[in-house]
Amino acid sequence: MTQTADVRTVQTEAVAEQADERVLVASQWQLVRWRFLQHKLAVISLIVLGLFYSVAIFAEFVAPYDPTEFREELTLAPPHKIRFVDPEGNFHLRPFVHPFEKTLDEVTYAAIFIEDETVMQPLGLFVKGDPYKLWGLFESDIHLFGLQDPDARLSLLGQDTVGRDLFTRIVYGSRISLTIGLVGVAMSFFLGILIGGLSGYLGGTVDMVIQRIIESLRALPTLPLWMALSIALPHDWPVVRTYFFIVIILSTVGWTSIARVVRGRFFALREEDFVGAAELDGASNLRVIFRYLLPSFMSYIIARLTLAIPQMILGETALSFIGLGLQPPAISWGVLLNDAQAIRVLALSPWLLLPTAFVVVSILAFNFVGDGLRDASDPYSHV
Amino acid sequence: MTDAIQPAGRGDRAIISVRNLVKYFPIESGLLRRQVGLVKAVDDVSFDLNDGETLALVGESGCGKTTTSHCIIQAQRPTAGEVHFRIGDTRPVDLTKMEKADLKKARRNIRMIYQDPYSSLNPRMTLLQIIGEPLKIHGQVKSQDELRARVSDLLRLVRLDPSTLNRYPHAFSGGQRQRIAIARALSLSPKVVIADEAVSALDVSVQAQILNLLKELQRELGLTYLFVAHNLAVVKYEADRVAVMYAGKIVEIGETEELYTCPKHPYTEALISAAPNPDPDTKNRPRIVLTGDVADPGNLPGGCSFHPRCRYAEDLCKQETPPLMELSAAGEPSHQSACHFADRLSLAGIGAAELTTDRDAA
Ligand SMILES: Nc1ncnc2c1ncn2[C@@H]1O[C@H](COP(=O)(O)OP(=O)(O)OP(=O)(O)O)[C@@H](O)[C@H]1O
Ligand SMILES: [Mg+2]
């Protein structure tokens, strides 16, 4: 019969016949994942981010000390050298540190910290230390690592201007610094999809008004706008409220670019025949939006969002650094850097700048992940 | 207006009757979107689509073919005019006056195949979802198993392997995708299928396969086709009748063989002469090269829109728009042309022999 002959011809014209059956039945998200996994730098960055966020989530456990507990005698103490070899030249499998002994410089009266080589304080995993309540729920005093002697202090990244442990504070600071980007982006995402969607779906006058508003907002320089808005925040507000308003301030500009993308995609997709075909199939407006329009650019939007997070992190850091963002007792990387402003302090205690390294690493990681996602987000562009 | 449903006694076989269909797009400019003109994409088009036939709608790019088919299925609402749709002996209904809910029902019987099979299939859905979507929306299946069975049947109908129903469109070639689009169009057992340049995006070798498939399906299922194409070559094998469009108007409509062998409009003559001609005997017939651009539907010339490009134009053509007029005698198949000199000109078509050899070859 002609039918069997036809089937054969159809098979010979197949483009992907040799391709793996897995690819043929792969959904959009699977294709995105495969393409993303080929982007080595993005994968590594994703792992780094995973690590950072785990640290933020389990800050109480990961940080060896309480972030507010200070030891005056250790004010501005430098980072410890972690040692494996004792002064006699014996090798120890378990790393250890020598405690600091503080003296005063006879000329300048500046504090000088000298390691007391007669005492060895070994490090340990899951050591007892300051008591804490994980997420305000679980009481414990076990820390991931620290010195085995609960009264001694390990100065991993140095001590700050009042003798608080800098590493501990960076770990706690990551909570605010890393989440402010996420919350801010979630907010931009919500506003952007809503307003951009309306603009693209309704078109006409609504679209024109929204576009003009977006253009005016984008014409304003970001940092001065943020500064102007945050000056208006009362200084005596509780940390949570300030945090929330900072997020709002950071999102004032962020949503506009997402709204633009959403609007553009709506316009472009409405031209696609498969959307018209769905309408002719009898699909309702909601079905068209949720089954056809949104899934078509969700991956792309997520990639855009990832690229927007670093801006938010930088925004918070910058605002807090110049003293307009979060204020102590809140701890964020920006607040920590605010401490490091005095040149004199910096010259003698450069480790106070270490929070910058964390800012840089997390921002780079977000950028690489975003790049990888963006390249992978439209698997149909190259297939 | 009232003769809309049965004009000239020929509407009795019509499943769709298009009457005085008009679609204008406003040209807007400036910040305030002031209207500065009109694109007359479809301008007073009337024709019948008879039950079981294939009517081809042919014309150059931009002449309003897509707009016409969209206005029939109400994907775009026409500016004016009526589209009567009738199944069997029921009373015709005017689609242009229908509300969304009623249209949804009517559209079960009028389905569309798009030109570009890469854009007309949602890349995020499997064949099962794509072809099953209309069935689901119209509540035609009760269970997932039934859906799979129905979609498998449809895939077999378009000669695709039913085991592929979990694949995504990216796994298929252009020709295969167009088969998928056909399966989707047929899923609701429609009466009428509008194919908007359904093969022009495909390789020539694949085109013939899809055309054959459409022909076979028409025989098996008793379908009626409105077949949109931009050149006459493709249409020859497929169509029972041909309507030629120019600048938003139908300029000639008649049975395929009649229209090819003795065209009655200079534009048809030019189109025929432009079509590739495989017959060595008449290979050297003079080619009519159309000068000038296609008429801009936003700024049409006065009189007959075709006159600036017409070899036979006279003063009358610049002043008066010719109506579409019946040329054949009563009792013979209808042949209409919109040319002032339709009965005086003797225009060159192709030899009848050439037409039949072409058909046999197909
Ligand atoms: N939404 C619209 N707004 C304004 N003008 C339009 C719109 N849609 C179509 N037109 C114009 O109407 C005319 C007819 O367009 P249409 O798409 O129906 O042509 P066509 O015969 O299908 O052409 P093609 O062979 O290129 O598909 C064109 O000049 C086009 O520019
Ligand atoms: Mg078209």
pLDDT tens per residue across span A60-116: 888 888 888 787 777 777 888 888 888 788 888 888 888 888 788 777 777 788 887
Name which of B138, B168, B216 is nearest A27 (Cβ-Cβ).
B168
Do B123 and A380 count as a contact with CB atoms less than 8 A apart? Answer: yes
The answer to whether position B252 is within a domain reads no
- Measured CA to CA, the distance from residue B177 to residue B184 in angstroms comes to 11
Last residue of a domain, one of B206, B239, B272: B239
What residue ranges of chain A have pLDDT lower than 50? 1-18, 382-383
In the A/B pair of chains, how many CB contacts fall below 8 A?
Answer: 93
The answer to whether position B251 is within a domain reads no
**Per-residue pLDDT band at B362 (split at 50, 70, 90):** very low
Last residue of a domain, one of B239, B273, B301: B239
Last residue of a domain, one of B239, B271, B290: B239
Q: Shortest CA distance to A72 belongs to which of A162, A169, A145?
A: A162
pLDDT digits (tens, 9 = 90+) for B296-355: 877 888 889 998 888 888 888 888 899 998 888 887 888 999 999 888 877 777 765 555
Q: Which of B63, B249, B250 is the pocket-test mutation for ligand 1 (most atoms within 8 Å of CB)?
A: B63
B249 Cβ below 6 A of ligand 1:
no
Q: Is A281 on the interface with B (CB under 8 A)?
A: yes
The predicted model gives B264-289 an average pLDDT of 73
Same structural domain for residues B43 and B134?
A: yes
Same structural domain for residues B167 and B300?
A: no
The answer to whether position B308 is within a domain reads yes
Mutate which: B66, B109, B124, vs A, most A CBs within 10 A: B124
**Number of domains chain B is built from:** 2
Q: Which atom of ligand 1 is nearest to the CA of B60?
A: 25
pLDDT digits (tens, 9 = 90+) for B208-248: 899 999 999 999 999 999 999 887 877 887 899 999 999 99
The per-residue pLDDT of chain B, averaged, comes to 85
Same structural domain for residues B151 and B215?
A: yes
Which are the contacts of A130, defined by CB distance < 8 A and separation ≥ 6?
Answer: A65, A66, A69, A141, A143
Do A287 and B120 count as a contact with CB atoms less than 8 A apart? Answer: no
- For residue B58, give the CATH number of its domain: 3.40.50.300
pLDDT digits (tens, 9 = 90+) for B118-165: 889 988 888 999 999 999 999 888 899 999 999 999 999 999 999 988
Structural contact between residues B95 and B109, judged by C-beta atoms closer than 8 angstroms: no
Give the three-state DSSP class for A56.
helix
The predicted model gives B70-78 an average pLDDT of 92
Strand partners for B112:
B194
The predicted model gives B83-91 an average pLDDT of 83
Q: Which CATH architecture has domain A169-376?
A: Orthogonal Bundle (1.10)
Residues 27-56 of A with CB under 8 A from B: 27-28, 31
Same structural domain for residues B222 and B274?
A: no
Residues 151-180 of A with CB under 8 A from B: none
The whole-number pLDDT of residue A21 equals 61
Q: Shortest CA distance to B281 belongs to which of B176, B354, B231, B172?
A: B354
Name which of A273, A282, A295 is nearest B107 (Cβ-Cβ).
A282
Domain hosting residue B190, numbered range: 14-28+37-239
Determine the distance separating the centroid of ligand 2 and the alpha carbon of B201, expressed in angstroms. Answer: 12
Q: Does the pLDDT at position B359 exceed 60?
A: no
Q: Does the pLDDT at position B2 exceed 80?
A: no
Angle value at C-alpha B191, between B185 and B194, nearest 5 degrees: 55
Tokens linked to B49? 């689509």
Same structural domain for residues B226 and B268?
A: no
Q: Which residues of A257-287 are buried (b: 16+ CB within 10 A; e: fewer)?
A: bbbbbbbebbeebbebbbbbbbbbbbbeeeb
Structural contact between residues B63 and B40, judged by C-beta atoms closer than 8 angstroms: no
The whole-number pLDDT of residue A60 equals 86
Same structural domain for residues B173 and B293?
A: no
Distance to chain B for A203, nearest Cα, Å? 12
Same structural domain for residues B121 and B180?
A: yes
| Residue in chain A nearest B179 by alpha carbon | A10
Mutate which: A4, A8, A13, A17, vs B, most B CBs within 10 A: A13
B168 Cβ below 6 A of ligand 1:
no
The answer to whether position B9 is within a domain reads no
Q: Shortest CA distance to B136 belongs to which of A27, A287, A272, A26?
A: A287
Distance to chain A for B167, nearest Cα, Å? 4
The whole-number pLDDT of residue B246 equals 92
Q: Is A296 on the interface with B (CB under 8 A)?
A: yes
Structural contact between residues A131 and A140, judged by C-beta atoms closer than 8 angstroms: yes
Domain parsing of chain A, residue ranges: 76-158, 169-376
Between B231 and B82, the more confident residue is B82
Same structural domain for residues B342 and B294?
A: yes
CA A163 to each of CA A69, A71, A115, A154, A159: distance values in angstroms, whole numbers, following the listed order: 8, 5, 17, 12, 5
φ, ψ dihedrals at A112, nearest 5°: -125, 130
pTM of the predicted model as reported, rounded to 2 decimal places = 0.72
Q: Shortest CA distance to A227 belongs to which of A340, A336, A316, A330?
A: A316
Same structural domain for residues B232 and B288?
A: no
The whole-number pLDDT of residue B4 equals 41
Determine the distance separating the centroid of ligand 1 and the alpha carbon of B64, expressed in angstroms. Answer: 6
Q: Which of B22, B25, B112 is the pocket-test mutation for ligand 1 (most atoms within 8 Å of CB)?
A: B25
Which are the contacts of B337, defined by CB distance < 8 A and separation ≥ 6?
Answer: B251, B252, B254, B264, B265, B268, B324, B325, B327
The whole-number pLDDT of residue B227 equals 93
Strand partners for A100:
A115
pLDDT digits (tens, 9 = 90+) for A145-166: 888 787 778 888 888 878 888 8
The answer to whether position B215 is within a domain reads yes
Return the amino acid letter for B287.
R
